[in-house]
Amino acid sequence: MQQGVSYSDSSYYDIIPVGDKFWIGGKYGTLKTIDSEGNLNNISYPNLQVDIYKLDYFDKNNLIISGDKGIVYKHNLNSNTWETIKIKGFEKSCFYNLTVVNDSTAYICGGKSAIAHSKKTVPFGFILKTTDKGKTWTQVYKNAFKMVWCVKYNVLDHKVYALMYTPNKTHLFALENEKWERRQKIGNSIFHEIQFENTEDFIAMGGWMGKKGRIHHKNQKLELPHSGLLWGRVTNEKYEIYSACNGQIVLGDKAGNYKVFGEKLNKAFNIYETVFTSPTTAISIGSARTILMLKIIEENPISRISQK
């Protein structure tokens, strides 16, 4: 299902489970629910018409949603109440990613809004921290020449990490004694997200737009020639799915085997995020208001994906 026809349409950026449905956030303040059958409904909220980039939970009853132009939304699922927070000094910045540490502490990262809209500018990257459930925020990192694509809390070693990008290189930083210390160079391209397997091993995903995708483990590097940049990864007991450029989906079987699947729709488009709805079904979302309903058809040596 592709509702739009170009990148200028209202793209979908993130999806998370909420109750028995899933919430989708996207461009121009898009906020919708979708069920496992693909039925969409709008969510009523105090929409300021700014892009929504990331959704997460503070706890089982409270959501935090990061947006463009210095906007953070908070939502209580029990009372169905909303709070809008405008962070002074970040009116021209995008809150591109966030990570929750506990029921009161979270970090948000990003850079200038133009970066998220595929424009070239000095990024003025930053990381903000809250310790009061998002009411107030303090800047804990800034660098004019680095875009901070991802900030991630590792529940296994209880540390916060960040992927920081300057032209042609991405470095992994860790928060050590309240200072951001450079751990290692991940690669010579954008790496958009990182996930942790244990206290030592990670999986970082990225690459080049419209060209190669890259999956980097701590000690292993894999390139996928035709997938384009890999935006995100979801995993269950048997499979992992990477969201990629140009309508590509990458399916892995956790044994080192990967297949790239593509879907040709109205225009070239990106798949930004995927969520499993069962052990063998998933929903992928992306630009041009694209939604793919995926079904894994189990075969040997690796499964294949059907899309609709």
Give the pLDDT confidence of 239-290 residue by residue, as tens digits.
999 999 877 889 998 888 888 887 655 556 789 999 999 999 999 999 888 8
Q: Does the pLDDT at position 9 exceed 70? A: no
CB 106 within 8 A of CB 58: yes
Residue where the block lists tokens 């969409």 = 40
Q: What is the pLDDT of residue 298?
A: 77
**Within 13 A of 46's CA, how many CA atoms are on the CB side?**
13
User: How confident is residue 163, by pLDDT bands cut at 50, 70 and 90?
Assistant: very high
pLDDT digits (tens, 9 = 90+) for 49-60: 999 999 999 999
Task: Enumerate helices (H) and strands (E) in the chain, giving the number of each.
Answer: 1, 28
User: How confident is residue 205, by pLDDT bands cut at 50, 70 and 90?
Assistant: very high
Q: Does the pLDDT at position 3 exceed 70? A: no
User: How confident is residue 211, by pLDDT bands cut at 50, 70 and 90?
Assistant: confident
Residue 211, helix vs strand vs coil: coil
pLDDT digits (tens, 9 = 90+) for 170-181: 999 999 999 999
- Non-local CB neighbours of 126 within 8 Å, separated by 6+ positions: 90, 93, 109, 110, 111, 139, 141, 142, 143, 148
Alpha carbon of 240 to those of 42, 126, 228: distances in Å?
Answer: 29, 30, 17
pTM: 0.92
User: How confident is residue 137, by pLDDT bands cut at 50, 70 and 90?
Assistant: very high
Beta bridge partners of 169: 166
CB 139 within 8 A of CB 128: yes
Average model confidence (pLDDT) across the chain: 90
Residue count of the chain, please give it: 308
Q: What is the pLDDT of residue 307?
A: 56
Alpha carbon of 154 to those of 42, 102, 124, 175: distances in Å?
Answer: 33, 12, 25, 11
